[in-house]
Amino acid sequence: MMPSPTDLKYFIEIANYLNISRAAKSLGISQPSLTLAIRRLEDAIGEIIFIRHKRGVTLTPTGKNLLSYARQLLQQWEAIKTEALAATQEIEGCFTLGCHVSVACYMLPHFLGDLLKPYPKLELKLKHDLSRKIAEEVIDLKVDIGLVVNPIRHPNLVIKKLFDDEITLWHSPITHAIQDIHSGQAILLCDPDLVQTQFILKNLKKAGISYQRLIATSSLEVIVELTAQGSGVGILPARVALNRQLIPIANAPSYADEVCLLYRGENRHIKAIELIGATIQKTFKERV
């Protein structure tokens, strides 16, 4: 077992006084606590480091050797602590930002350049996946910051709502039967694996609205492009669809989304994460 910095500090103090009671008084702890610390050190080393006598203690040869190394170890430990703390207080380092590809396309361009320009030592690595998986990776410390749709609350997460979004049916200004959801000839373009899509399909069925065919794809970029070119009716988030001047279908089923920023609670005091989060929040507060 590795000795703790505290036990080494106690050992050095006893070596300075050569008296356990005086060292305990100097450190402001009880004598039994100091005795236990020395016992832990001796157990870790496997040798006695002090010989006890009526006037106090004397260092054994092993204790004398340990004393010279203990001072070096504590100096190194203080240097390590200083470096580690500096990393949390400076705007530098590499951090992973996770979000769905579509979220990345309509969110990142609004803040990424302005965030990175003033801080040349700040690096961002992008990770793309479903919002649910991004949230899991933030919890598992694989992603530092997530931009997530409808995150599930978790005790280890700090969640900041950025804005509301809405998923519904969209078509292009081009008028074709395949883009008319009421024509019976409509082609539906969607990702059927999304909860939002499943909700809308279920409500279309309840409303007695049928479509001729469904083209499934996991890429919202493909859906928005096909919809924009008049290839069918797209099930899309408003923030994605409006970027391509698509038109929402009146009275169509819709699903309300919350787009949120999230990170682990223990990272709230890391300056770089604090800056990234504040920049994202400010950007989308101004755009709402």
Tokens 């690595």 belong to 125
Question: From residue 7, how far is each of 32, 40, 98, 182 by CA, in Å?
Answer: 13, 8, 41, 77
Residue 235 · residue 190 · CB < 8 Å: yes
Specify the CATH number for 5-89; select among 1.10.3720.10, 1.10.10.10, 2.60.40.1180, 2.60.40.10: 1.10.10.10
- Other beta carbons within 10 angstroms of residue 53's beta carbon come to 9
With bands split at pLDDT 50, 70 and 90, how would you rate the model's confidence at 69?
confident
With bands split at pLDDT 50, 70 and 90, how would you rate the model's confidence at 141?
confident
Task: Output the CATH code of domain 93-159+258-287.
Answer: 3.40.190.10
Alpha carbons 255 and 238: distance in angstroms, whole number: 10
Q: What is the pLDDT of residue 165?
A: 93
Residue 145 · residue 263 · CB < 8 Å: yes
With bands split at pLDDT 50, 70 and 90, how would you rate the model's confidence at 78?
confident
88-101 pLDDT per residue, tens: 677 888 899 999 88
Q: What is the pLDDT of residue 98?
A: 96
Q: What is the pTM of this model?
A: 0.65
* Range 136-160 average pLDDT: 93
Q: In percent, how much of the chain has pLDDT > 70?
A: 96
Q: What is the pLDDT of residue 192?
A: 93
Q: What is the pLDDT of residue 50?
A: 92
Question: From residue 140, how far is each of 146, 157, 191 by CA, in Å?
Answer: 12, 11, 27
Q: What is the pLDDT of residue 87?
A: 61
Domains 93-159+258-287 and 165-256 share a fold: yes
Q: What is the pLDDT of residue 279?
A: 93
Residue 90 pairs with which residues in a beta bridge? none
Q: Where are the domains of the chain?
A: 5-89, 93-159+258-287, 165-256
Q: Does domain 165-256 have CATH number 3.40.190.10?
A: yes
179-221 pLDDT per residue, tens: 999 898 999 999 998 899 999 999 999 999 989 999 999 888 8
212-263 pLDDT per residue, tens: 999 999 888 899 999 999 999 999 999 889 888 899 999 999 999 999 999 9
Q: What is the pLDDT of residue 240?
A: 86
Alpha carbons 119 and 115: distance in angstroms, whole number: 7
Does 138 or 287 have the greater pLDDT score?
Answer: 138
In the DSSP assignment, the letter for residue 287 is H
